[in-house]
Amino acid sequence: MPSRKIAWLLPGLLVVPFYAWGFDYETPAISPEDGSGYEEKPGWAADEFAVAAANPLATDAGYQVLKAGGNAIDAAIAVQMVLGLVEPQSSGLGGGAFLLYYDGHDVLAYDGRETAPAAVDGDLFMEDGEPLAFMEAVTSGRSVGVPGTVRLMEKAHAAHGSLPWAALLTPAITLAEEGFAVSPRLHTSLANDEALRNNDLARAFYYDEEGDPIEVGETLNNPALAAVLKRIARNGSAAFYQGGIAQDMVERITQHPERPGEMALDDLETYEAILRDPLCTPWQQWEVCGFPPPSSGHLTVMQILGMLDQQPLLEAPLDDGVTSSGWLHQFLEASRLAFADRNYYIADPDFVDAPGGDWSSMLAPDYLAERSALIGQESMGNGAEHGRPGEMQTSFAAQPTQPEYGTSHISIVDAEGRSVSMTTTIEQAFGSRIMSDGGTDLPGGFMLNNELTDFAFQPEEEGEPVANRVEPGKRPRSSMSPTLIFDRESGELLGSLGSPGGAAIIHYTARTLVALRDWGMNAQTALNLPHAVTLGDQVWVEKDRFPEATRDALRERGHEISERALTSGLQAIMRDEDGSLFGGADPRREGVVMGD
């Protein structure tokens, strides 16, 4: 498979023998997919270190860094920078991320979530007293939050990195200059996106004059992104958050033709990534660590799992290798209850108080036992209501469900047993559809996020404020669930996992954890299992993956079922009992695992 070799020379720093693998997308076992592609993957074994990411070129960049003696944080930076180039629809410089890091002793939670500019208010997405249509809000300057990924990477590198910062950007710079083969997923995402064609820079860069996207396997260079990355390599995040690149982002946001946003240079200059306390929750023999608010991920995942552990044990949670209707019923009902709590309570902790003054009140075993007892034989349908964890009475209103999409996940374990679980996003595919060339006037650039549409559009519901309403300087609630798993008794790291997929990230992560712990599955077979999702009302089951009898049995219990593609992008790396590693990448996307 490897078809070419490049030595990236780093003047005055060090020489790292990186090998760039040129993947031929016509032949290998990586399927084209945008929504429903599914191709079995083998799972990958490694002795000492491994990296899993959503694109082979990005995985390779991380692998080369680990091979050259870099640690998990170093590798994550190299992976992220390449992802922004080769998978620009999902993450990049213009977005945000949550990075969970185990340094061999402690778990640290780096929050690089996008932030609302200082000039916005609760009516950001309201016009004439009505909320904007979702896509009108997305494809506007108003949806763009202050990007966090670059500051996040720099902060984590300053604290933990071992290779020089500039060296870690070199793989992305080289690929941006020399070009990379467009993958089937990028091609399909471009083909399917009408709104992106309305952006002048993106149209000129990704499409021909007829509006047809660049073909699979064609070489794409991105000179503007290479120039921007070089400046960041030389001068750190200041080059991004101040000066010409910042100026260009602000202009493109504030001069949006239909709905300009209110981003100011000062919003960019003052952006900070925040080091937060992770949430670590005992779950039988495991301790599961995840991200605290503003992500709702860990709290909602662990509420579902905590409720499931209180449910009557099923004789057959699996039926012919697929989750049975009995297990799915319990899982979906627990999801309904957990999402009712999430929609009511969870938002940026710098703006709202946790129920009972502590987010862990939402995971208290007594509370979850009480919630679990609400699950009966018949589905509660859309009738799940939030509970009362802790004593504190709040006067919030529940946020109605909104769509979320896009995103990418990176899992890494290095040779010293340090580990990264990082979920990274620009929200929708291609974010706000606003491209910035960083003021370089060169072809290409990077996409700006639409993360602010993760806020509630209406600041109030029936006269009560919604916890996740827009406020200046606030970070929108997320579903991203980067996860690290430990053995409770020995304290040893057992694994790293996560996924994109909007609110369904929570279901993908929860179900994978059950498959890994309870059903003896490995990091590949656990990801392969078909998905079922509810946010509280109807249930979506993965298209063509459940027997009709299972769907009928769920209908008989009162679930409203429909089939659709559920494009998770799970990556997982687990440590086996003998200390070796086994990684899996989602059969629904292009990811691979590499390690030694």
Min. distance of Cβ 186 from ligand GLU in angstroms? 16
Residue nearest to ligand GLU (CB): 407
Which parts of 398-482 are beta strand (E)?
408-413, 419-425, 434-436, 446-448, 460-461, 464-465
Strand pairing class (483-487; 493-498):
antiparallel
Min. distance of Cβ 401 from ligand GLU in angstroms? 13
Choose between 113 and 252: whose C-beta lies nearer to ligand GLU. Answer: 113
Helix ranges, 426-501 (H): none
Min. distance of Cβ 299 from ligand GLU in angstroms? 13
Choose between 167 and 467: whose C-beta lies nearer to ligand GLU. Answer: 467
| DSSP for residue 359 | G
Residue type, 97: A
Say how many Å lie between the first and final Cα of the chain, rounded: 17
Choose between 255 and 401: whose C-beta lies nearer to ligand GLU. Answer: 401
Strand pairing class (581-585; 44-46):
antiparallel
Min. distance of Cβ 86 from ligand GLU in angstroms? 18
* Distance separating alpha carbons of residues 290 and 363, to the nearest angstrom: 13
Residues in Cβ contact with 98 at an 8 Å cutoff, skipping those fewer than 6 apart:
109, 110, 111, 112, 113, 291, 295, 422, 423, 478, 480, 482
Choose between 333 and 454: whose C-beta lies nearer to ligand GLU. Answer: 454
Tell me which residue of 202, 175, 200 sits closest to 190, measured CA to CA: 202
Please indicate whether residue 534 is annotated as part of the active site: no
Choose between 193 and 427: whose C-beta lies nearer to ligand GLU. Answer: 427
Choose between 292 and 500: whose C-beta lies nearer to ligand GLU. Answer: 500
Q: Which residues bind ligand GLU (CB under 6 A)?
A: 404-407, 425, 427, 451, 454, 478-480, 500-502, 505
Tell me which residue of 229, 231, 182, 133 sits closest to 24, measured CA to CA: 182
* Catalytic annotation, pick one of 407, 424, 453, 512: 407
* Distance separating alpha carbons of residues 503 and 482, to the nearest angstrom: 13
Min. distance of Cβ 120 from ligand GLU in angstroms? 18
Choose between 402 and 522: whose C-beta lies nearer to ligand GLU. Answer: 402
CB 26 within 8 A of CB 575: no
Tell me which residue of 48, 54, 91, 55 sits closest to 71, measured CA to CA: 48
- Three-state helix/strand/coil letters over 139-201: CCHHHCCECCHHHHHHHHHHHHCCCCHHHHHHHHHHHHHHCEECCHHHHHHHHHCCHHHHCHH
* Distance separating alpha carbons of residues 377 and 559, to the nearest angstrom: 11
Min. distance of Cβ 246 from ligand GLU in angstroms? 23
Return the number of other C-beta atoms located less than 10 Å from residue 393's C-beta: 7
DSSP-derived 3-state class of residue 246: helix
Choose between 176 and 532: whose C-beta lies nearer to ligand GLU. Answer: 532
Min. distance of Cβ 14 from ligand GLU in angstroms? 36
Min. distance of Cβ 150 from ligand GLU in angstroms? 17
Question: What phi and psi, each to the nearest 5 degrees, are found at residue 351?
Answer: -125, -25
So which residues are the catalytic ones? 407
